[in-house]
Amino acid sequence: MNYYIMTLFPEMFPGILGASILGRGKEKGKIYWETFDIRDYTLDKHKRVDDYPYGGGAGMVMQAEPVYRCYEAVEDKLGRKPRRVVYMTPQGRVFDQHMAEEFAREEELVFLCGHYEGIDERVLEEIVTDYVSIGDYVLTGGELPAMVVMDTVSRLVPGVLNNQDSAQNESFSNGLLEYPQYTRPEESLGKKVPEVLLSGHHANIEKWRMEQSQIRTRKYRPDLYEKWQQNSSN
């Protein structure tokens, strides 16, 4: 999976994308990413990339031209074929596991990260194929959201996780939240591990985990629980 990120803040990416599983994924050649600094593509002698909104109102708007020229640089590098260009915006479709699975089937994804009050509509109409939000709250820019999407998609790319099992057996893939986990020692903070997990009885363990998943989902995500009940007529 190859990611190309258009941003005014390329320095935000190496820390998060270089650590842990994503860092290893890049080392193993399973994922690749590269930033394009939108500011490198302004023709303004003061390197300006934003201006006041026509019609008035608070804040600044990113200009169309530097973003368009930045995308042309992406095209010069990758060729001019149809590809998904994902604009991270609170006005977009809300990202979920289903969308992540869809993105994971692509060979490459281009992310456009906005700042200020947004980006001039004219360039969005020209280049953007997907408008994506990560939830109903407002962040200062699209960089963290782009990294959220990259993290979620990358762990679905074959070979990124060591144990492909853990991409299957988890929250959301079956429509329920995950069951509680325990590790050694058997007693910690004065509390014992649930007996069934020490029993070696796999059927009972499965049954207990399924019950715990249902209890949790009903308690914390009644919306998901209702959907799950409808889908599986349990």
Q: Which residues bind ligand 6GU (CB under 6 A)?
A: 88-90, 133-135, 137-139, 141-142, 145
CB 13 within 8 A of CB 5: yes
- Token pair belonging to 154: 């990358």
Report in angstroms how near the CB of residue 137 gets to ligand 6GU at its nearest: 5
Report in angstroms how near the CB of residue 20 gets to ligand 6GU at its nearest: 22
Shorter beta-carbon distance to ligand 6GU: residue 135 or 222: 135
Shorter beta-carbon distance to ligand 6GU: residue 146 or 176: 146
Shorter beta-carbon distance to ligand 6GU: residue 92 or 175: 92
Report in angstroms how near the CB of residue 73 gets to ligand 6GU at its nearest: 22
The number of CA neighbours under 13 Å toward the Cβ of 123 is 22
Report in angstroms how near the CB of residue 36 gets to ligand 6GU at its nearest: 18
Report in angstroms how near the CB of residue 149 gets to ligand 6GU at its nearest: 8
Beta strand 61-62 pairing with 50-51: antiparallel
Shorter beta-carbon distance to ligand 6GU: residue 141 or 175: 141
Report in angstroms how near the CB of residue 134 gets to ligand 6GU at its nearest: 4
CB 32 within 8 A of CB 2: yes
Shorter beta-carbon distance to ligand 6GU: residue 88 or 176: 88
- Token pair belonging to 66: 């530097």
Report in angstroms how near the CB of residue 135 gets to ligand 6GU at its nearest: 5
Euclidean distance between the first and final Cα of the chain, in Å?
37
Provide the H-helix boundaries in 95-183: 97-104, 121-127, 143-154, 165-168
- The H or E element that residue 64 is part of is helix 64-78
Shorter beta-carbon distance to ligand 6GU: residue 86 or 176: 86
Beta strand 50-51 pairing with 84-94: unpaired
Q: Give, in order, the Cα–Cα distances in Å from 82 to each of 1, 10, 69, 74, 133.
A: 16, 25, 17, 12, 22
Shorter beta-carbon distance to ligand 6GU: residue 75 or 117: 117
β strands within 98-211, DSSP E: 108-113, 130-133, 187-188, 191-192
